[in-house]
Amino acid sequence: MGTKIASLIIKSRHEISITDLSEKIIAFDAYNIIYAFLSSIRNKESGGGYFTDADGNVTSHLNGLFYRMNNLLIHGIKPVFIFDGEPPSFKAAEIQSRRDKKAEAAKKREEALEEGDFEAAMKYAQATSRITPQIVQDAKILLNLYGIPIIDAPSEAEAQGSHLLQQGKIYALNSQDYDSFLFGGTRIVRNLAISQRRKVPGQSRWIEVSPELIILNEMLWELGLKNRDQLILLGLLIGTDYNPDGIKGVGPKTALKLVLKYKNPEKLFEYLDVKFGLDTIFPFSPFSLLDYFRNPNVESELLFQHRSPQFQKIQQFLVEERGFNRDRVEKQLLLFKKKSEQKTLDRFF
DNA sequence: CAAAGACA
DNA sequence: TGTCTTTGG
C-alpha cells in the first residue's frame, strides 16, 4: 500500500521542516532504512557492488547511517531504531516472492556485466540488496556508539513502532509507506532525509521532496473513514505486505468506494465473497488478516533512553575497523560537536 | 544517500 | 553562489 493510498490523501499530508522535529523521539524501521542505503550507496564502476572495507565487510549502510544520524542528531531529533524479529506467517509468500525477484535481478545483473553494460548492471544490482547478519551487527555497533536506543521487536518493526506511538513513547514513526497506520500508528513522517532532491524513477529528472507529517485521524477524516478498521479494509483491498497484489482490477478509488459503501468487515467481505469468492482474492482469510492488524505481536514493556554519542569510538570504529577516511570522519564529527554545542547555547539564552 | 569537487 | 558531477568504502 506504499504509494496507492497516497493518491487518496492530500490535505492530511503536511509539509514540515526537519527543525519541527527537534527534541522529538522518532522511531525508524531499521531494516527499512538499512535496505534503502544498501540499494542506493553502491559503486558505479563495478556495476553496482556495495561499498566494502578491505576485509570485504559491507559499509554502504554505515556510510548512510553516519551522515544521516549526524544530521538528525544535529537537529535535536532523538532517533530510536526498531529491528524486525520473526516475520509473521502471513508474510511467507511475500518473502519468497521478494527472494525470487532478487534472484532474477542478480541474473540480469550478471548478463549486463557480461555485456559490459555497467549502467544496467548498477540498476539490477540495486534490486538485489540483502541484509546479512554482519550488516545488522555493524549497524547496531554504530547506532550504539551514537547513543541511539535499539529495540529488537518480537515481530514486525512497524507494528512495534505503532504500539510505541499508541503508548505515547515516541512522537512519530519514520516510514516511506503507510502500512503502519493499519497497525494503529498515529503519526508518520516521510522523506526524512537530508537532501531535498530525489531522482524520479523514470529517468534523469529530479524533484524537490521535503519531509511530510501524516496524522492518522486527519487521514481517516479526509478519506471519510470512521475508524481504523475501515482503513485496514481499504488496505486489504489495495494490498498490504501480506497480500501485496490487493484485488485485481480494484484500484484505490474503487477500494475506498467499496469500504464507504459496505462500512464494516462482515458486509464488505460478504459482498466480495459473492462477487469474486474470498478464496480467489485473498491468500488468507481476510478476517484473520484484519485481526492480525488489530492485534499484532508486540512488546509492551519497553524502556529506552538516549545517551551521548561517543565521538572517539565512532571515529575509531569507522576509520580503524571499517576503512573510512580519517579526515572525512573527523571533519564531520567536529562539525557535529560544534553545531550541537551551538544548539545547547541557543536553548540556554 | 550525502558530501566534496568542478565549474560557470 | 548555485548547480551539476564525482567520490565515498
Helix (H) or strand (E) holding A50: strand A49-50
Q: Which of residues 190-209 of A touch strand C (CB under 7 A)?
A: 206
Residues β-bridged to residue A208: A197
- Distance in Å, residue A87 CA to nucleotide C8 C1': 34
* Domain shared by A68 and A212, yes or no: yes
Q: How far is CA A215 from the centre of its chain?
A: 17
* Domain shared by A202 and A53, yes or no: yes
A126 is near strand C: CB distance < 7 Å: no
Helix (H, G, I), strand (E, B) or coil at A85: coil
**Number of C-beta neighbours around residue A48 at 10 A:** 24
* Domain shared by A173 and A202, yes or no: yes
pLDDT of residue A188 exceeding 80, the answer is: yes
**Number of C-beta neighbours around residue A86 at 10 A:** 11
List Cβ neighbours of A116 (8 Å cut-off, separation of 6 or more): none
| Domain end point (choices A250, A276, A292) | A292
Residue A315 domain-assigned (yes or no):
no
Q: Count structural domains, chain A.
A: 2
Q: Which of residues 51-70 of A touch strand B (CB under 7 A)?
A: 63-64, 67-68, 70
Mean pLDDT of A275-296: 96
A326 is near strand C: CB distance < 7 Å: no
Pairwise CA distance, residues A153 & A151, whole Å: 6
| Domain end point (choices A223, A238, A262) | A223
Residue A298 domain-assigned (yes or no):
no
Task: Considering all nucleic acid strands, name the nucleotide whose C1' atom is nearest to the C-alpha of residue A41.
Answer: B1
Q: Which nucleotides of C are covered by protein (CB under 7 A)?
A: 4, 7-9
- Distance in Å, residue A125 CA to nucleotide C9 C1': 17
CATH number where A54 lies: 3.40.50.1010
Q: Are A145 and A309 in contact (CB under 8 A)?
A: yes
Residue A300 domain-assigned (yes or no):
no
- Tell me the per-residue pLDDT of A232-262, one tens digit each, with 9 for 90 and over: 999 999 999 999 989 999 999 999 999 999 9
- Distance in Å, residue A206 CA to nucleotide C5 C1': 14
* Domain shared by A214 and A230, yes or no: no
Question: For every residue of A168-225, which 3-state class applies, written as one string?
Answer: CCCCEEECCCCHHHHCCCCEEEECCCCCCEEECCCCCCEEECCCEEEEHHHHHHHHCC
- Distance in Å, residue A200 CA to nucleotide B1 C1': 14
Provide the pLDDT confidence category of residue A177 given band limits of 50, 70 and 90: confident
* Domain shared by A195 and A278, yes or no: no
CATH number where A231 lies: 1.10.150.20
- Distance in Å, residue A159 CA to nucleotide C5 C1': 41
A332 is near strand B: CB distance < 7 Å: yes
Provide the pLDDT confidence category of residue A6 given band limits of 50, 70 and 90: confident
* Domain shared by A98 and A230, yes or no: no
More confident residue, A194 or A26: A26
More confident residue, A105 or A5: A105
* Domain shared by A13 and A116, yes or no: yes
- Distance in Å, residue A328 CA to nucleotide B4 C1': 10
Q: Which nucleotides of B are covered by protein (CB under 7 A)?
A: 1-4
- The boundaries of the domain holding residue A278 are 224-292
A37 is near strand C: CB distance < 7 Å: no
Provide the pLDDT confidence category of residue A306 given band limits of 50, 70 and 90: very high
* Domain shared by A186 and A125, yes or no: yes
Residue A334 domain-assigned (yes or no):
no
Give the pLDDT score at A60: 98
Give the pLDDT score at A242: 95
* Domain shared by A232 and A146, yes or no: no
* Domain shared by A120 and A79, yes or no: yes
Please state the φ and ψ torsions of residue A207, each to the nearest 5 degrees: -125, 155
- Distance in Å, residue A44 CA to nucleotide C4 C1': 17
A204 is near strand B: CB distance < 7 Å: no
Helix (H) or strand (E) holding A334: helix A326-348
* Domain shared by A219 and A79, yes or no: yes
Provide the pLDDT confidence category of residue A201 given band limits of 50, 70 and 90: very low
- Tell me the per-residue pLDDT of A142-167, one tens digit each, with 9 for 90 and over: 999 999 999 999 999 999 999 999 99
A228 is near strand C: CB distance < 7 Å: no
A3 is near strand B: CB distance < 7 Å: no
Angstrom CA distances, A340 to A22, A71, A334, stand at 12, 10, 10
* Domain shared by A112 and A239, yes or no: no
A39 is near strand C: CB distance < 7 Å: no
